[in-house]
């Protein structure tokens, strides 16, 4: 199985690149942000609770997202592999993911970390907010909070995967095609 963590701050291009990687490598895309937005769209209790936190730009509880990922892994047992997008976002989530995958005799092959400067992130998110319909994409204060959450709780995962020799840094500058080519180079060299 080819299991990849596509990593990076909000607005770094994970969603855009995931769509291309899924098509190129025949993988299943698992975005906890998308799964949560789907819960919100269906008006579930989980969605209502998550929305309050998402609108503030803070993370939802680990057990909520771990549970969602577990169900998706169970539902896609014959997959060639997964791209994890926006998950894990905390050390506890990364540990839980390692355990879940080990229970299925597989593991994370690589963390592909997109590196994009702060100002560029804010610019991209505000641009996306013009038609994404996401309330967390339009308010610069909330966007700042999301990036702060990333720096505080999510960035430490770089060291977590570095220790496992799985960390690959990709400069997220250039066209979508150029960044995609860089990602493919890393994957093809694994």
As annotated, the active-site residues are: 14, 89, 128, 134, 146
CB of 128 to ligand AMP, least distance (A): 10
Residue 17's contacts (CB-CB under 8 Å, 6 or more residues apart) are 6, 114, 176, 179, 180, 183
3-state secondary structure of 188: helix
CB of 82 to ligand AMP, least distance (A): 14
What is the phi/psi pair of residue 89, to 5°? -120, -5
Measure CA of the first residue to CA of the last residue in the chain; give whole Å.
Answer: 12
Residues that bind ligand AMP (CB under 6 A): 10, 32-33, 36, 53-54, 57-60, 65, 86-87, 89, 93, 136, 146
Identify which of residues 36 and 121 has a Cβ nearer to ligand AMP in the complex. Answer: 36
Identify which of residues 54 and 108 has a Cβ nearer to ligand AMP in the complex. Answer: 54
What is the phi/psi pair of residue 170, to 5°? -125, 125
The CA distance from 34 to 22, in Å, is 15
Identify which of residues 1 and 58 has a Cβ nearer to ligand AMP in the complex. Answer: 58
Identify which of residues 65 and 114 has a Cβ nearer to ligand AMP in the complex. Answer: 65
Q: Which residue is nearest to ligand AMP (CB)?
A: 33
- The CB density around residue 107, as the number of other CB atoms within 10 Å, is 13
CB of 37 to ligand AMP, least distance (A): 7
CB of 188 to ligand AMP, least distance (A): 26
């Amino acid at each position: 199985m080819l299991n990849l963590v596509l990593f990076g701050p909000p607005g770094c291009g994970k969603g855009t690149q995931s769509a291309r990687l899924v098509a190129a490598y025949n993988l299943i895309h698992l975005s906890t942000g998308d799964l949560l937005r789907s819960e919100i769209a269906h008006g579930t209790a989980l969605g209502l609770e998550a929305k309050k936190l998402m609108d503030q730009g803070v993370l939802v509880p680990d057990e909520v997202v771990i549970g969602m990922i577990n169900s998706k892994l169970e539902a896609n047992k014959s997959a060639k592999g997964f791209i994890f997008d926006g998950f894990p976002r905390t050390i506890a989530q990364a540990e839980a993911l390692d355990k879940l995958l080990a229970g299925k005799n597989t593991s994370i092959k690589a963390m592909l970390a997109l590196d994009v400067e702060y100002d560029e992130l804010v610019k991209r998110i505000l641009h996306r907010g013009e038609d994404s319909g996401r309330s967390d994409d339009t308010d610069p204060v909330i966007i700042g909070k999301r990036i702060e959450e990333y720096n505080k709780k999510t960035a430490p995962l770089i060291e977590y995967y570095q220790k496992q020799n799985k960390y690959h840094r990709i400069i997220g500058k250039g066209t979508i095609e150029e960044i995609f080519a860089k990602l493919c180079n890393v994957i093809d060299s694994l």
